[in-house]
Structure 1
């Protein structure tokens, strides 16, 4: 069965356009022909802001836009190259983009748009060095301040340590001075006591030459103040030297005999008055060897031991009455004060 071949399609022939040109006096082949473009909501992006860019006919707008984008890319690339290579930046001459801007002009002034640097093109190495020097100067200043503060802290700590050491040294010196003063005072006191003792010993030794015990060989059988009913005063008023009857009684010190005779409970008694008025009573004698008014010297015999008066055995009862007072004092202490030891 025979069939008819399909008719060949006619070759595509672009519609002939009018001789309208864009900015030129005659037709140019690089400008078209162009089909009319009717944008729809699906074919365009949402409009941002209040600016709408209209599609321009002709090739000048597209070529100018490409030129402007290329210049910006070149500027950015130059800045990146300068940042990565570290070489001094190269100044680029910017083409006049007035024609590009005029295509997007919607009546607003270009001065209203914010200006921002696209790259570090035009920033010199001197500026970079100045920033680096400023950072180094700030670092040096901070380090200097830190060192100064540390120095002040060290100085304060050193001053505190020195003050503590000085205080400790002062305390130690004061303590040592106080100890030395106490030691010196103690030594002085001991020295004074030793000197006083020595002086007293010398005085007593000198007095011992002037005073003597009344009896050479004896036994102390009664002391001053001893209580008992045998004494009318209730206590013993003298010092008793017990010795055999007839034992010699000697003058203790030089003086005058102011009384010699019987005295009741004292038996035979002799009273020797010294130059300072002290009266020495020698009682219970068996015999008296001196008379009233007689001057005697130390060691002279004035009587003999006996048992006359109120006694229990032969002995010498000695009493000491300063300034002739009726009440006597301890004969033992008085004799020791004269360098004698009964």
Structure 2
């Protein structure tokens, strides 16, 4: 197998730093400048082609300088002469020609991929990282949007609940106010109707009072209707007693016809006045009678005098009211008041 001949040993330089294109510390002649040309450089291998830069002469010089620096660093970098060791020979790597580096070949689309590796990371990896970052940001944005949407829904529900509660309370207040207003209106209407009825009744009674009168004057009510006691054969009082001195005038309460006038046993002297509606008025215990049967009388006409005849304990007028000529009478006090009179 053939082997390359050993590289010539570099002269020993015991002193200062070895610098390309510079001088050694012992003032020896310069080692020489490294100025690669198109003829001195081998064609480029691998993915170390530099894309063309269209910036003029400055861009071309920068490209050449950059290629030189890369070559120097790849060959071993800067050597230090302070180590006390003999200088190390440098083997020049195969570099592409300058013309090929700045070639105007437009068909080589792979030139731009020479520097697609940045810091040990390929463009594919960068794209994947960026895609992962974008996906994470999109996921974060989606989560935040969902959280915001859920919060908006919660806020909307809470606001709706508050609004519903307020509306319910307002409706309840309105219903209560309406009910109170209706009750007040009903009470006012009822009161107005009652007042109107009372007024109408008062007018009616006033009109009736012109047609009716009390049976006597200067009297005292001593017994009322329904009063119980052994003084009455029926066990209770059947009329209304007007106690007055004997001889006090007895008047017709209303216009009508005399249907009875004479003695009536325990009632003493009694006069019965029948009104046009068939109601019978009994005037009992009279001392004298001033009318006869069949006589027409008017309101206020004298029909007799107060006495103490029959079953009595003192002088008084015993008045009974029999609607329709019924055997059983009703309360004379209520009947008189119904005619606008107040005994």
Output the TM-score relative to the length of structure 2: 0.64
The residue that corresponds to 1:122 in the other structure is 122
Which aligned pairs between 1:39-50 and structure 2 lie closer than 5 A?
none
Residues 315-324 or 126-135, more deviating: 126-135
Distance 1:271 1:192 in 2: 40
Q: Secondary structure at the match of 1:214?
A: coil
- Relative to structure 1, the CA distance from residue 209 to residue 25 in structure 2 (aligned partners, 3 Å threshold; closer, same or farther) is closer
Q: Give 5+ residue unaligned stretches, structure 1.
A: 1-22, 31-91, 93-118
- Relative to structure 1, the CA distance from residue 163 to residue 239 in structure 2 (aligned partners, 3 Å threshold; closer, same or farther) is same
Q: Does 1:152 align with 2:153?
A: yes
Residues 262-289 of structure 1: CA distance to partner in whole angstroms, max 9, x if unpaired?
1111111100000110000001111111
Residues 208-239 of structure 1: CA distance to partner in whole angstroms, max 9, x if unpaired?
11110011211111111111212111111111
Q: Give the Å deviation of 1:125.
A: 8.4
Distance 2:6 2:188 in 1: 137
The residue that corresponds to 1:237 in the other structure is 238
The residue that corresponds to 1:337 in the other structure is 338
Q: Give the Å deviation of 1:124.
A: 5.8
Distance 1:29 1:122 in 2: 38
Q: Does 1:247 align with 2:225?
A: no
Output the TM-score relative to the length of structure 1: 0.64
The residue that corresponds to 2:287 in the other structure is 286
The residue that corresponds to 1:48 in the other structure is none
The residue that corresponds to 1:70 in the other structure is none
The residue that corresponds to 2:98 in the other structure is none
Q: Give 5+ residue unaligned stretches, structure 2.
A: 8-69, 71-118
Matched length: 236
Q: Does 1:24 align with 2:25?
A: no
Q: Secondary structure at the match of 2:121?
A: coil
Residues 240-260 of structure 1: CA distance to partner in whole angstroms, max 9, x if unpaired?
111111110000000000000
Which aligned pairs between 1:87-102 and structure 2 lie closer than 5 A?
none
Which aligned pairs between 1:183-202 and structure 2 lie closer than 5 A?
183-202=184-203
Q: Give the Å deviation of 1:195.
A: 1.3
Residues 293-302 or 162-171, more deviating: 162-171
Q: Does 1:161 align with 2:162?
A: yes
Residues 11-65 of structure 1: CA distance to partner in whole angstroms, max 9, x if unpaired?
xxxxxxxxxxxx2399x899xxxxxxxxxxxxxxxxxxxxxxxxxxxxxxxxxxx
Q: Secondary structure at the match of 1:252?
A: coil
Which aligned pairs between 1:317-336 and structure 2 lie closer than 5 A?
317-336=318-337
Residues 206-215 or 157-166, more deviating: 157-166
Q: Secondary structure at the match of 1:253?
A: coil
Q: Give the Å deviation of 1:120.
A: 4.1
The residue that corresponds to 2:142 in the other structure is 141
The residue that corresponds to 2:226 in the other structure is 225
The residue that corresponds to 1:315 in the other structure is 316
Q: Give the Å deviation of 1:126.
A: 5.6
Q: Give the Å deviation of 1:192.
A: 1.4
Q: Secondary structure at the match of 1:293?
A: coil
- Relative to structure 1, the CA distance from residue 25 to residue 284 in structure 2 (aligned partners, 3 Å threshold; closer, same or farther) is closer
Q: Give the Å deviation of 1:122.
A: 2.0
Over the residues paired in the alignment, what is the CA RMSD in angstroms? 2.7
